Amino acid sequence: MIETQKSFEKQETGILYLVPTPIGNLEDMTFRAVNILKEVDLIAAEDTRNTQKLLNHFEIVTHQISFHEHNSKERTPQLIDKLLNGNSIAQVSDAGMPSISDPGVDLVKAAIEADISVVPLPGPNAALTSLIASGISPQPFYFLGFLPRKKKELIAELEELNKRKETLVFYESPHRVKQVVEEMSSVFGAERKLVLAREVTKRFEEFIRGTTEEVVEWLNNEKIRGEFVIIVEGNEDADTKEDKIWENWTLKEHVEFIMENYALSSKQAMKEVALLRDIPKREVYTAYHELDS
């Protein structure tokens, strides 16, 4: 059943505003964002201590409540009740757009299910801000946020991403960026274009542009600080050749190949085979375990 939302008509409930906050430079806060934070009844903040600095700067006295990944299950129904009772709420993350590699999507879903208007404000976003200055084609692009932490899962993810032609965009911490770029150089090849955007909009903003091999060398000779956005050129040679090698395989052979070459569990490999072949997972499960259909 289709649903429509007319954001600026009179509402019977409160409104959930999604308010971006600066990713470094406080001057990136918009007039509208400041006004919304002043006008709402409550601010749901990822870290109230961090957000309080922003509120103090703009002389905003609106009350805050903490809302983060560890209490979202408990907080979401509480916030929905407040919205249903006519209170408007602004949701903010520590920096950038709510719900982008930050908590918030569950609250948005719950609000929509409760027929509460969700109104997004435009504003700072590290991924897009870095992408447009990277020098790598900005569209189409594929945003992933943070990659898996475990090495086997990281390599398996990169192997899959190497099949894509779109520009790839990631977030990464200073503690892991070297390891991640080294694996990218290994999987994507030493000549793939890669850009590191460091501390975007902050005082020490820096863009490091080169090949994966050159960026690895730069990382080896630098004291790594700050948060990074990684932008990687898509694989222009990506085609269906790799996919075609399984055309004459049985489903069981295909699952076993995926498990062996990508270090995945049988469950993960069966899911991947189902996606590659566009068939139901149950069909792959039955064939792999040699069950009677």
Question: What is the mean predicted confidence (pLDDT) over 104-133?
Answer: 94
How do residues 190-234 score in pLDDT, each as one tens digit? 999 999 999 999 999 999 999 999 999 999 998 899 999 999 999
- Is the Cβ–Cβ distance between 274 and 284 less than 8 Å? yes
- 259 CB neighbour count, 10 Å cutoff: 19
Site of tokens 């000549």:
191
What are the CA-CA distances from residue 153 to residues 35, 77, 159 (Å)?
Answer: 44, 34, 10
Task: Pick the closest to residue 38 from 18, 21, 60 (CA basis).
Answer: 60
Structure confidence at residue 242 (pLDDT): 52
What single DSSP character describes residue 137? -
Site of tokens 């086997």:
152
Estimate to the nearest angstrom the gap between the alpha carbon of 14 and the chain centroid.
28
How do residues 164-188 score in pLDDT, each as one tens digit? 999 999 999 999 999 999 999 999 9
How do residues 20-57 score in pLDDT, each as one tens digit? 999 999 999 999 999 999 999 999 999 999 999 999 99
Q: What CA dihedral angle connects 218, 221, 161 and 189, to 10 degrees?
A: 70
148: confidence class by pLDDT, cuts 50, 70, 90: very high
Side chain identity at residue 246, one-letter code: W
Structure confidence at residue 1 (pLDDT): 77
